Amino acid sequence: SDNDSKEHNHLISSDTLIINLDHGDPTVYESFWSKMGEKCTLVIKGNDLMSYMSDMSRLCWFLEPELEEAIKSLHRVVGNAVVEDRYVVVGTGSTQLYQAVLYALTAPGGGDPVKVVCAAPYYSQYQAETDLLCSGLFKWGGDASAYDKDGAYIEVVTSPNNPDGHIREAVVKSRRGEGKVLYDLAYYWPQYTPITRPADFDIMYFTFSKSTGHAGSRIGWALVKDEEIARKMTRFIELSSIGVSKDSQIRAAKIMGTICDNYQDFESGNSESFFEFAHQLMAKRWKSLREVVEGSEAFSLPKYPKEYCLFHGEYTEAYPAYAWLKSSEGIEDCEKYLREHCKIVGRSGRRFGADPSFVRVSMLSREEAFEQFLKRLLSIKGIKNQN
Amino acid sequence: SDNDSKEHNHLISSDTLIINLDHGDPTVYESFWSKMGEKCTLVIKGNDLMSYMSDMSRLCWFLEPELEEAIKSLHRVVGNAVVEDRYVVVGTGSTQLYQAVLYALTAPGGGDPVKVVCAAPYYSQYQAETDLLCSGLFKWGGDASAYDKDGAYIEVVTSPNNPDGHIREAVVKSRRGEGKVLYDLAYYWPQYTPITRPADFDIMYFTFSKSTGHAGSRIGWALVKDEEIARKMTRFIELSSIGVSKDSQIRAAKIMGTICDNYQDFESGNSESFFEFAHQLMAKRWKSLREVVEGSEAFSLPKYPKEYCLFHGEYTEAYPAYAWLKSSEGIEDCEKYLREHCKIVGRSGRRFGADPSFVRVSMLSREEAFEQFLKRLLSIKGIKNQN
């Protein structure tokens, strides 16, 4: 029958086809949102949200007021960022906000482009994003740990770090206060890492993609202390895209609102709370992965300290969005090895300014892909002979 | 009562408050979409559209296939662009596509930045958008009519033109084929201008904002002949914003689909067809505006030739999205005059590389604002004495 044949194809494909875990595509959370039903369903009428403008009296005039409220409520519920006395600037994902910050922290006519640095291993796209238009304002400067020039620079601190999941602080020692720091907190959510304090930096940003898993909506937001910086970021987004999709802003507000309602409603059980669900799911995946990796001679994984999480109210481990696998001595190119032996596509350590013995593998795939990943890792025997 | 007091405030404000017609905010079309009811209502479930990816087998991997189909259907129905053998690249509004094209048409290490030119009067934001990051790849070069340098350049042709509504062609004479041309066809729709032929350029783009009026969704699309250019544009959008809101893409597909269904369904009367509605509405506004302006000594308006419109099947005039008002001799600064005497905010001719005796005023406002605009113009008496 037709069903049998589909089933058959399915089995063939799941054993032999390439599994792409290169991107951090957060489809792992689909099952949760599917269960939430109508509470999360967004309805937009044909005549809704047609204007460019949201609220011209606000600094970020294309930010929907209900998204700003939802963002602030979510941070208050989670306790991962200070929202008081902050401007909220919305962007088309945190990617657009990254460039908006670089624009806001630099100025034309200031001589050489300001160097943008980040401690290795750093997010693989920073360099290409920074140098996209060969800007005269700023230029990628590589590993922050190796940076020892004089003059202005911008340091990007990604915490928890992408790719390796570690909590980070700025590493460049500013000699004359000429350094500026921006904090990419995309993964500072309680499913990935213990929330040890509300982040309280001058410039920090988050994304809908990694918090709730809605990557397709392309919504990011920055919390910015200084009015002039927030104003320049807004100007950048105006000139790059005349604002940010209002359909997605309203959707983000709705999804965030649902999460907050769950936590504020004492009547509801914990079973429907997003961050508990996501935390347990990530914990389960990491437990399974660590078992497989410990039984293998081919790979090792970073260790993360247990810390007291203010959100969960207990000591928790980190369960990062990526596995930062390191291959053992016999395997020089971990990405190549995984691709050739397991048909798993990860992202090479080289792309992150690190050694090719590292590979970054997404932990955020759909369940079937994750199970295949484990199964294929498990199937590697006698590594040293094979290589 | 509360209602009386609201009504009272409303009357005060409509006579004395500033009316902002600076932006081309297309809220004029809200009334149409409001009447369309549920056919245009978009429903998005909590677990829909969560992935970054739409279709990895396509060149533009973040383009939703149903949007591509809707775009092609819409152009076929309207007859304003050739869609065969074209790549469709979606952008966060046509603003992002403009920059994606500049990126795609230039390359690092090629010496001086390529000059980007456009015949004056040109869209007021091109210069700021081009020079936003002080790119080493391209740089604003001003009025194309005055451009006579050797070497590579990019000419932007906006047709119908923003601000003045005229149909345009490229004006720079390329000496050694070093010039590249991009066509901004945001206003090449049958409510604004006669559709005399399907546009058949190598690089052309359109926007949801000005076609159907859904500016808040930030959806634009380019039709691109050359694979390599489409690939580079896609790469630019990947590095700027990792794609384009899927919520808005699906909404655009739905709205466009509704328009196409109306035209393909012979049973339905013309009364519900978007472009007829929009054309009649623009015709009515232009008729009223021309009457007021002809009765005044202060201003004049451009004239547009009647041409045979393939879409409407008759000779039609242009009814541009903006009134490009020119003040008479006694008034040097048209924008200032309008602001001070009518409390109408337009955009000065200076911003478009033109004379300050011009001002651009949006024709796309809500009905009340448009009526106030006419009423206030009408109230100007004895211009020469007042100035």
Residue with tokens 């005060």: B12
- Residues 91-130 of chain A with CB under 8 A from chain B are 91-93, 95-96, 99, 103, 108, 125, 128-129
Q: Does residue A113 sit in the same domain as residue A257?
A: yes
My answer on whether B254 and B357 are in the same domain is no
Check residue A264 and give its pLDDT.
76
What is the Cα–Cα distance from B62 to B300, expressed in whole angstroms? 46
Terminal CA-CA length for chain B = 43
Indicate if A70 and A207 belong to the same structural domain: yes
Partner residue facing B242 (CB), from A95, A214, A244: A95
Show which of residues 138-197 on chain A sit within 8 Å of chain B, judged by CB atoms: none
Helical (H) or strand (E) element with A230: helix A227-241
| Confidence (pLDDT) at A3 | 41
**How many angstroms separate the CA of residue A133 from the nearest CA in chain B?**
5
pLDDT at B196: 98
Rounded (5°) CA angle A271-A273-A274:
125
Of B306, B344, B331, B335, the C-alpha closest to B385 is B331
- A200 pLDDT band, cuts 50/70/90, is very high
Tell me whether strands A179-184 and A203-207 are parallel, antiparallel or unpaired.
Answer: parallel
Q: What is the mean pLDDT of residues A326-330?
A: 92
Same domain, B198 and B231: yes
In a domain, A40, yes or no: no
Closest to B185 measured CA to CA, from B177, B174, B168: B168
pLDDT score, position A204: 98
What is the sign, positive or negative, of the torsion defined by CA atoms of A225, A229, A231, A237? negative
* Chain B interface mutation, best of A240, A256, A259, A274, highest count of B Cβ atoms under 10 Å: A240
Residues of B numbered 189-248 whose beta carbons fall under 8 angstroms of chain A's beta carbons: which are they? 209, 213-219, 236, 239-248
Range of the domain at A7: 2-34+271-386
CATH of the domain at B18: 3.90.1150.10
User: What Å distances lie between residue A69 and A210, A212, B245, B327, CA to CA?
Assistant: 19, 17, 21, 45
Mark whether B323 and B216 lie in a shared domain.
Answer: no
Q: How many domains does chain A have?
A: 2
| A99 and A248 belong to one structural domain | yes
Residue A198's pLDDT is: 98
| End-of-domain residue from the set A263, A294, A328 | A263
**Are A230 and A306 within one domain?**
no
CA distance A180 to A116: 9
Q: Is residue B43 part of a domain?
A: no
Mean local confidence (pLDDT), A247-272: 83
> Can you tell me the distance from the alpha carbon of B223 to that of B85, in angstroms, rounded to the nearest whole number?
9
Are A132 and A108 spatial neighbours (Cβ–Cβ below 8 Å)? no
Q: What percent of chain A has pLDDT over 90?
A: 86
Contact B45 A40 (CB under 8 A): yes
pLDDT at res. B137: 98
Tell me which residue of A240, A238, A208 sits closest to A222, measured CA to CA.
A208
**Which residues pair with residue A19 across a beta bridge?**
A344
The angle at the Cα of B143, spanning B141 to B145, to the nearest 5 degrees, equals 125
Tell me whether residue B44 is in a domain.
no
B44 to chain A: closest CA residue? A42
Strand partners, B325: B359
Mean pLDDT of A101-116: 94
Partners of A359 in beta bridges: A325, A348
**Last residue in a domain, options B219, B237, B263:** B263
Given a contact cutoff of 8 angstroms between Cβ atoms, the answer to whether B242 and B221 are in contact is no
Question: Does residue A365 lie within any of the structural domains?
Answer: yes
CB of B333 closer than 8 Å to CB of B339: no
Residue ranges with strand state E in chain B = 19-20, 42-44, 87-92, 114-118, 138-143, 153-158, 179-184, 203-207, 219-224, 299-300, 307-309, 314-316, 322-327, 344-345, 347-348, 358-362
Check which CATH number belongs to the domain holding A114 and give it: 3.40.640.10
Using 50 as the pLDDT threshold, list the residues of chain B that sit under it: 1-12, 270, 382-387
In a domain, A43, yes or no: no
**Phi and psi (nearest 5°) for A94?**
-75, -15
- Higher-confidence position of B42 and A267: B42
Rounded to a whole number, what is the distance in angstroms from the first to the last CA of chain A? 43
Model pLDDT, residue A14 = 57
Note whether B348 and B305 are same-domain residues: yes
User: In this structure, what token pair is assigned to residue B269?
Assistant: 């009367």
Mean local confidence (pLDDT), A202-213: 98
CA distance to partner chain A, nearest, from residue B159 (Å): 20
pLDDT (average), residues A246-258: 98
Q: Which one of A204, A233, A263 terminates a domain?
A: A263
**ipTM value:** 0.94
Q: Between B271 and A276, whose confidence is greater?
A: A276
How many CB atoms sit inside 10 A of residue B328's CB? 15
Task: Tell me: pLDDT of A383 over 70.
Answer: no
